[in-house]
Amino acid sequence: MANIIFDGKSVIITGGSSGLGEGMVNSFGEVGAKGIIFDQKPPSVLKNGWIFIDCDVTDEDSVKEAFERIPQNFKPVDFLIANAGIVPSWASIADTTTEAWDKVMAVNGRGLFLTLKYGSPHLRCPGGSIVVTASINAWKGDANIVPYVASKHAALGIVRSAAMDLGKLGIRVNAIGPGPIATEALLSRIEERGKNSQLSVDSALELLSKQTALGRLATIEDVANVTLFLCSDLARGVTGQIVNVDAGLL
């Protein structure tokens, strides 16, 4: 992103090995940041100046240990991107199992809480920034996905409360609200749903695009660029907010 340079800055990105997280790793690396990926699987390629730490965000000991393993040359951490999250299979509320509910809440709810709990003490203060990957479902509902919607509503609540807790230390906390993004995960879900509806992936993406003001889907790069902005000094007056990245789902 123009006018943003993070030379010498350090960032931790949870869920950084694939999807939106991988895009964020690439974007932060392009503007000079060095970083750490927290994930349960290593990335296919590890960028120069970046390291990988195995971390299960649902497990308190794993999260605590991961932050304790941050090398000294990354401290204090400038940016924490709490991106790890999962989306369940489609199911009506009547057909949603408690196991599915608990799994989504464990990652998207407890995992986010643990990331902020153990990550925030390692942030630069003043001057640190946290960005949480929420969703447009942090403020709107959708059918057949109640655990996800509930977890993202919870994520926005965590962001707003954490912004008040950490603001006194000079740490900003914001969220991004991606709409549909053509990640591998979304494409595979569309393909699975299409087995019942007979709707092709291309047709489904076209329908989604027509629902936006821009007539296209937002991209992984779009989401990463807004994340860069929220971490930068350009957004130093912004905290406790969610910024939608949805190409205009109005």
Active site residues: 148
- Give whole-number Cα distances, 76 to 28, 98, 123, 193, in Å: 17, 40, 5, 44
Q: How many CA atoms lie within 13 A of 95 on its CB side?
A: 8
Q: Which two tokens stand for residue 85?
A: 């999250």
Which residues are registered as beta bridge partners of 63?
A: none
| Token pair 């907010």 in the structure block, residue | 241
Burial tier of 230 (Cβ tally within 10 Å: 0-12, 13-18, 19+): buried
- Give whole-number Cα distances, 231 to 22, 91, 220, in Å: 17, 36, 17
